[in-house]
């Protein structure tokens, strides 16, 4: 039972960043902007959030007194910094009508390099890791529950962070905003047929800016969520999770509920891959050296197969990737 709760808990932990970032990508693409810069946005969000956590840890006593308030500040910083960074993409691809893939690639390249340079500048030469204070995690003690070795406590508290709560809240908000509000309808219209949207008085540029901005908010928080999930330090990278989130988004067919399913699914296979040696019922391939590589491949292979099977139903926003030009028919 222990292993099951461990796997489930780790699955949720890694599904959270995928979910947040893929939802971010969904907002951007539904407004018509291909956001390949998610990886970079994650790095920037995580960078500033981790610097905040470190500063709070060193200079204040917030870690002892109100750790979750400190974490809340970090989440907000992640959201703001991610959003500001994403505006660079919006400026290039909406205002200047530049190629969205190129702008995104530039930002992806810039973010980790900037993160390393800033980490050096703050921490001194050669110090490329930012250590995340241990109080960032929510434990049984935080909530005043006595720790017991029971299934649900292992499941919930093995690795529980505030980002998980935010992911649930933001997921619900995202689903409601996209389908039940005027804003969501207009946003989707801009991704499908911006000319038509413009003709009924919707400001396409503003909608697209909003879409990218929201993706920056979610991407930034997702970056922090990834960093706390991946280990105790931030190393100026999110290991390709931004790109994986793009895959999750496509696999999830640009719809919130499908994205939720896709991110849980992908995270589960990812965790099975990395826990392969300790899961009893998996074949061991004794005649093979380092068979863990085989399991590490599994999530990618399975996603590929599923993408093929679902490709018939897959429908991208029609106008994504095309800069909106008022004068064009």
Partner 1 sequence: MKLKQLLQKMSAQNEGFQRLLASVVSIGFGLVFGLILLVCFNAPYAGSGFLSLISAGFRSSDKFAKVLYQAAPLVMTGLSVGFAFRTGLFNIGATGQYTVGAAFALIGAIELQLPWYVCLLLAMLGGAIWGIFPGLFKALFNVHEVITSIMFNWIGVFSVNLIIVNLSQMLARDWGLAQMDRTAPLDVANPSAMLPKLGLDKLFGSSYMNIGIFIAIIIAILMYIVLNKTVFGYEQKACGFNRNASEYAGISSKRSIVLSMVIAGALSGLGGGLYYLAGTGQYSLLKALVPMGFNGIPVALLASSNPIATIFSALFVSFIQVGGDAMQPEFVREIIDIIVSVIIYLSAFSLLMRSVIAKWLAPKQPALALETKSTPDPDSGNSAESEATKS
Contacts to partner 1 by CB under 8 A: 36, 88, 92, 96-99, 101-103, 105-107, 109-110, 112-114, 116-117, 120-121, 125-126, 239-240, 243-244, 246-247, 250, 288-291, 293-294, 296-297, 300-301, 303-304, 307-308, 311, 314, 316, 323
Which residue, 95 or 134, has its beta carbon nearer to partner 1? 95
The answer to whether the beta carbons of residues 37 and 98 sit under 8 Å apart is no
3-state secondary structure of 131: strand
- Token digits for 42? 């994650």
CB of 38 to partner 1, least distance (A): 12
SS (H, E, C) 189-231: HHHHCHHHHHHCCCCHHHHHHHHHHHHHHHHHHHHHHHHHHHC
Which DSSP symbol is given to 323? P
Pairwise CA distance, residues 11 & 22, whole Å: 16
Which residue, 64 or 311, has its beta carbon nearer to partner 1? 311
Pairwise CA distance, residues 291 & 297, whole Å: 10
CB of 21 to partner 1, least distance (A): 14
Tell me which residue of 269, 162, 150, 146 sits closest to 225, measured CA to CA. 162
CB of 35 to partner 1, least distance (A): 12
CB of 183 to partner 1, least distance (A): 27
Cα atoms in the Cβ-side hemisphere of radius 13 Å centred on 226: 37
Which residue, 52 or 303, has its beta carbon nearer to partner 1? 303
Which residue, 62 or 262, has its beta carbon nearer to partner 1? 262
Which residue, 186 or 270, has its beta carbon nearer to partner 1? 270
CB of 135 to partner 1, least distance (A): 29
């Amino acid at each position: 039972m222990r292993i099951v709760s461990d796997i489930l808990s780790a699955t949720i932990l890694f599904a959270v960043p995928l979910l947040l970032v893929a939802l971010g990508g969904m907002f951007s693409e539904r407004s018509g902007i291909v956001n390949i810069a998610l990886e970079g946005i994650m790095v920037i969000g995580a960078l500033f959030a981790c610097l905040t956590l470190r500063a709070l840890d060193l200079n204040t006593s917030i870690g002892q007194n109100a750790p979750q308030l400190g974490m809340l500040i970090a989440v907000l910083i992640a959201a703001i910094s991610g959003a500001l960074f994403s505006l660079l993409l919006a400026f290039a691809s909406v205002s200047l009508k530049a190629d969205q893939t190129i702008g995104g690639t530039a930002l992806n390249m810039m973010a980790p390099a900037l993160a390393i340079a800033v980490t050096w500048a703050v921490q001194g030469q050669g110090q490329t890791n930012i250590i995340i204070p241990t109080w960032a995690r929510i434990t049984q003690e935080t909530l005043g529950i006595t720790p017991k070795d029971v299934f649900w406590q292992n499941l919930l508290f093995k690795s529980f962070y505030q980002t998980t709560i935010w992911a649930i809240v933001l997921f619900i908000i995202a689903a409601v905003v996209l389908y039940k509000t005027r804003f969501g309808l207009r946003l989707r219209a801009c991704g499908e047929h911006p000319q038509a949207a413009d003709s009924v008085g919707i400001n396409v540029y503003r909608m697209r800016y909003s879409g990218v901005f929201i993706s920056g908010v979610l991407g930034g928080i997702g970056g922090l969520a990834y960093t706390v999930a991946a280990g105790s330090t931030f190393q100026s990278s999110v290991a390709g999770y931004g790109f994986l989130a793009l895959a999750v988004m496509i696999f999830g067919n640009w719809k919130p509920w499908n994205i939720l399913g896709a991110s849980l699914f992908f995270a589960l296979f990812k965790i099975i891959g990395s826990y392969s040696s300790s899961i009893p019922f998996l074949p061991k391939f004794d005649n093979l050296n380092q068979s863990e590589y085989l399991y590490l491949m599994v999530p990618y292979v399975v996603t590929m197969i599923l993408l093929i099977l679902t490709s018939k139903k897959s429908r991208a926003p029609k106008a994504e990737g095309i800069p909106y030009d008022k004068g064009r028919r």
